Structure 1
């Protein structure tokens, strides 16, 4: 997370107060709370997870309140990250069961998904969006306003959660049962690819809402442009019989071999 101001080292109370809001201080506070579960507000984190599906604008409205009260856009409570990690672990174990993996293979898959797919890719996407928003979307680049890296990471987590629920949880019930989306049947890859369309669409829309909520950014509508490519890819996949879920299952099995 980047500081929103540049405090001067003059020893006055305002300078000491500003120092408490530096990127290092915020990061230390966040990481320290990871070790204290009793200090985390899991009820509020669950509320956010619910509204990310029903009314994501309300979630970002809370980020405004945090900026007014705590002088930072990013979360200072890791409860959301902890619950997201639990969701990820449970759903990955579910994938292991559905794909009939052994205990060791499921553990390997879990490590891959958590440390590469979630953390590694999340850090990469967050850094890329942080750079793009600060480089190209600021209304007044000369002023002391910038997008905190921690906020970019939070936006990614917000957008990743619905995608996780749809592709890593809801989809499990369709892979080998119901319409059997892990197959070459038209109905199978139609339903499966539609779930992918909804999940990635959620990710793009919630990402757009996150950066559009920042008053010092402009032209955030460009973050909706990938919807055109997403729609085109969806129609192309249905026409050519591509099955994204089948590809994901094959990829997961290949990883742990």
Structure 2
């Protein structure tokens, strides 16, 4: 009879034992970063596609991962490694398009990867980890083991939320940048809409990531920033603020701020925009092909 009780997954003793015997996250995780053959590249791409199309399916698989691995966080660093590679190639494409020198391009790539993605991700993940564990956990009763949000899971949620924003603000914006960095109402309107969608979707995925955890309550808290974004976006449009011009000028100031060229005829301006966007498309195909041939194909 005593042996039978140990097989029940719902007992408090089983939960506490599982909590104590949970494997350490960081050791194996960091070791697998340098072992490509142990990374599940195909599943990583599946996750990335579904984060843009059906994010709830991804977090349904997170539940399965918890049941099989006894942890919410990924034990495979492939997602972060692939995302960093995408960031490097996307930033390189921007540097090539704006004609920056090799040292400036290297500095820009380092800044994007280590500041925009990793440092900002560490800060946001730590903040969400603290808020969820301190204020959003349900009070456990005496028959249920106390559960906490893993820090690495909070970072996973950030990475999941970041990827669709990367697609919008790094990839799509790259192709549209000849139009978006122009002066006028339409570029500012399109740029603000692009940022509004990207930021709102980021926070929506953040909400899904924590809402899937059964021991958290009031996770709609993570949807509140979307309301703020929706309120601020029309104001930014009305004052003519162009976020694309602003953020690109932080890295490519010499080119973007020199965009005040002499007035052109409407037909000439449209032709120049079409030519520039076509060049972006060709550059994007070129960088994408190189990424697949030299980096991703050997891993699959």
Rg larger in 1 or in 2?
Answer: 2
Residue 211 of structure 1 aligns with which residue? 210
- 2:6 paired residue number: none
Mapped partners of 1:245, 1:140: distance in 2:
44
1:225 match: secondary structure: helix
Match of residue 284 from structure 2 = none
**8 A Cα contact 1:30 1:77, kept in partner:** yes
CA distance in 2, matches of 1:158, 1:252: 26
Quickly say closer, same or farther: Cα 1:117–1:141, change in 2 above 3 A. farther
Alignment counterpart, residue 157 of structure 2, candidates 152, 155, 158: 155
Residue of structure 1 in register with 2:245 after alignment? 246
Pick aligned residue for 1:168 from 145, 170, 175? 170
Q: Indicate if the aligned counterparts of 1:99 and 1:249 stay in contact, CA closer than 8 A.
A: no
Match of 2:193 in 1: 194
Contact 2:199 2:226 in 1 (8 A): no
The within-5 A match list for 1:71-90 is 71-90=70-89
Shift of 1:20: 5.2
Task: Name the CA distance, whole Å, in 1 between partners of 2:20 and 2:213.
Answer: 23
Report the alpha carbon displacement of residue 254 of structure 1 after superposing the two structures with TM.
5.6
**CA shift at 1:90, angstroms?**
0.7
Aligned length: 236
**Residue 44 of structure 1 aligns with which residue?**
43
Say which SS state the counterpart of residue 25 (structure 2) adopts. Answer: helix
Partners of 2:65 and 2:71 within 8 A in 1: yes
Instruction: After TM superposition, give the deviation of residue 228 of structure 1 in Å.
Output: 1.3
User: Shift of residue 141 of structure 1?
Assistant: 6.0
For the residues of structure 2 that align with 1:27 and 1:141, how far apart are their CA atoms?
A: 27
- Corresponding position of 2:106: 107
- Partner residue, 1:21: 22
User: Does the CA contact (< 8 Å) of 1:98 and 1:172 recur in 2?
Assistant: no
Greater Cα shift, 105-114 or 136-145: 136-145
- 2:128, 2:100 → 1: CA distance? 36
Q: Distance in 2 between matches of 1:18 and 1:234?
A: 44
Asked whether the equivalents of residues 182 and 246 of structure 1 are also in contact (C-alpha less than 8 Å), the reply is: yes
Q: TM-score, normalised by structure 2?
A: 0.75
Task: Give the direction of change, closer, same or farther, for the CA distance of 1:18–1:139 in structure 2 (3 Å limit).
Answer: closer
Q: What is the deviation of 1:253? A: 2.9
Q: CA deviation at 1:190?
A: 1.0
Residue 98 of structure 1 and its aligned partner are, at CA, apart by: 2.4
- Could you tell me how far apart the structure 1 residues matched to 2:224 and 2:162 are? 19
Distance in 2 separating the partners of 1:128 and 1:96: 32
Return the offset for 1:171: 0.4
| Runs (5+) with no aligned partner, structure 2 | 1-15, 255-300
In structure 2, the partner of 1:61 is 60
> RMSD of the TM alignment (CA)?
1.8
Q: Which runs of 4+ in 1 moved over 3 A?
A: 17-20
